Structure 1
Amino acid sequence: MLAEDSAVELEKRLLHLELISSPTHPPSTSTSLAELLQTALSRFNEIRNQNSTIDDFLRKYVDLQDTLGQDTNELERTALDVASIKEIVLASEDGLDRLAEQMVDLEALKEEVDSTVLKDLSRLIPTMSPLESKHIEQRKVVWGVRERYLRELDSYNSFIDSTSRLFIHYHQLLAEMEEMVSAAERAQRAA
């Protein structure tokens, strides 16, 4: 019960934090942590898809991540003269300006990604472990019930099929008998 109370309290605190800090869509009261992360990821992907400059930057960053992450690289060892640096900066000025304008859109996501709830996730892992095992057990029960339901449905469909075939057979027999009775009545009237 203590774990449930702390989870409910955590949800309330998270909701309150989002309501006061989110400049955009206020979350609904039933929003879970996983849904919040999914929402942030989808908003990030929307911004990324709408702005090709950000997408290009992220692709280039991934490609150059090892080089950019090194403390000492070849560029630092070979000092460029001021004129070369100026040319490089001036050549990329338009792209940098566009990138800076579009990065403002991503700034809104920073608060969601850097929230205190996400920083304290390691503390919540022990709380989640029993829930995870309970979820696995419930999935097994659901699959068992689903299999039983499908068996019952197959049995029902077989019964309906057999019954329908019997009705069709009896209908044909009755039609043949009626035809025979009609033929006998016609023969009797003719005689």
Structure 2
Amino acid sequence: MKKRVAILISGGGSNMAALIDSMDPDHPARPVLVVSNVPEAKGLLRAAERGVPAAVVDHRRFGRDRAAFETALADVLAEAGTDIICMAGFMRILGAGFVRRWQGRILNIHPSLLPKYRGLDTHARAIAARDTEAGCTVHEVTPDLDAGPILGQARVPVLPGDTPEALAARVLEMEHSLYPAVLRRFATGDTRPILWS
């Protein structure tokens, strides 16, 4: 039985598209739903182009009531029979209650070599620190931000004169390969990290 994957997005959905495109007939999982918290997210069009059902749970409708937003999100995911959640540019921090409900079944891709540079502005921070390499990490989501078990990492050199935008573009290319590779392995129950240099 193939695992049922739901992908959470907030923007363009390039990592979502890479994940969907990787789920060929031999893949141990299949995409069943794309959910955005932003109604105008361009990724919703990409999902439609690929024939994957999409839904919107607009966080703005819930004001400051994060629990109500997460309940609505969880209901949509449960209705789709979700086995694995892949966060792909989903710009909301999920609360501990939501994470515990799906513990061990939520993946996220983060644009740094965790545990370095949790949170935002990772490329600018790597350049400011004069790091010689940056990269991306796929990890399990836990209640602590960007602190879950590492399932994959890929390294990208920081080049002389790099801007955060240039570095981000090169890291994003690597994300599009690493995330699908990790999902394919994770869907079989294999959590050994994939480490690319």
Give the TM interval when normalised to the shorter protein: under 0.3
Higher relative contact order (CA 8 A, sep 6+): 1
Q: Which has the larger radius of gyration?
A: 1
The answer to which structure has the higher helix fraction is 1
Structure 2-normalised TM-score?
A: 0.19
Structure 1-normalised TM-score?
A: 0.20
